[in-house]
Amino acid sequence: MKLRIKKIKKKYIVLVLSAVLIAVTAFTLAYFTSSDEVTNRFMGVYPPEEKPVADITVTEIFEPPTEKSDEPFQKSVQIENNGNIDCYIRVRLEFSSSEVRDISWLSNDDEKDNEDAYINASEYRYSSLPDGWEYREEDGFYYYTEAVAPSDRTASLIKWVKTVFPDDDSVDTDEYDIYVYSEAVPADDEDGERMTYEEAWR
């Protein structure tokens, strides 16, 4: 009877030890093979292409006189390319009154007081214009012959204006306007080839 109890105890101890050994082995294996999983999803989408935009702004330094005067005043006219493509630009320059135009003088000289640089406004279009500018009689526009890159500007078309009012008051006006109207077209054709300004404006 005692022998049987000993055998049972031995079997029990062996079973317990085996169970403990299996548990320890399983824990150790689990410890060394622990893993985690994270899913990162990537979308295979290209950023949208930027749409070509031709956008321009008339930028000028304008300091008109506070009263009727024959003194020159600054009106420096340039056109800025605010778009994202190279552009060709053209400008129409007009006075609100032809009478005032005929007694006004324009200059693109850096010096305000250089009298030799002033040209009558009615004849300015036919004069030696600033570099890059040409005038077309058929449509009345001043054309900038060079392509203007984004964030760049044209050269100044005019810088100074002087209106000499006659002593006899034959031109009766206290106010007048100088209108600056501008347009732009892409400098490259649909195939990305650079055009001349004449080709771009056809």
Q: Is residue 20 part of a domain?
A: yes
The tokens describing 175, both together, are 């106010």
Q: Is residue 10 part of a domain?
A: yes
- Domain span at 27: 1-33
pLDDT level of residue 47 (50, 70, 90 thresholds):
low
Q: 12 and 72: one domain?
A: no
Judged against a pLDDT cut of 50, whether residue 26 lies above it is answered with no
pLDDT tens sequence across 156-170: 999 999 999 887 777
Q: 27 and 64: one domain?
A: no
Q: 88 and 3: one domain?
A: no
Q: 25 and 93: one domain?
A: no
Q: Is residue 51 part of a domain?
A: no
pLDDT tens sequence across 169-191: 777 676 788 999 999 999 999 99
pLDDT level of residue 29 (50, 70, 90 thresholds):
very low
Please give the pLDDT value at position 35.
39
Give this prediction's pTM: 0.73
Q: Is residue 134 part of a domain?
A: yes
Q: How many domains does the chain have?
A: 2
Question: Please, which residues have CB within 8 angstroms of residue 160's CB and are 6 or more apart in sequence?
Answer: 72, 73, 74, 75, 106, 107, 108, 109, 112, 118
pLDDT level of residue 30 (50, 70, 90 thresholds):
very low
pLDDT level of residue 94 (50, 70, 90 thresholds):
very high
Q: Is residue 47 part of a domain?
A: no
Burial of 141 (0-12, 13-18, 19+ CB in 10 A): buried
Q: 65 and 29: one domain?
A: no
Q: 122 and 79: one domain?
A: yes
Judged against a pLDDT cut of 80, whether residue 128 lies above it is answered with yes
pLDDT level of residue 10 (50, 70, 90 thresholds):
low
Q: Is residue 43 part of a domain?
A: no
Please give the pLDDT value at position 167.
79
Q: Is residue 38 part of a domain?
A: no
Q: Is residue 45 part of a domain?
A: no
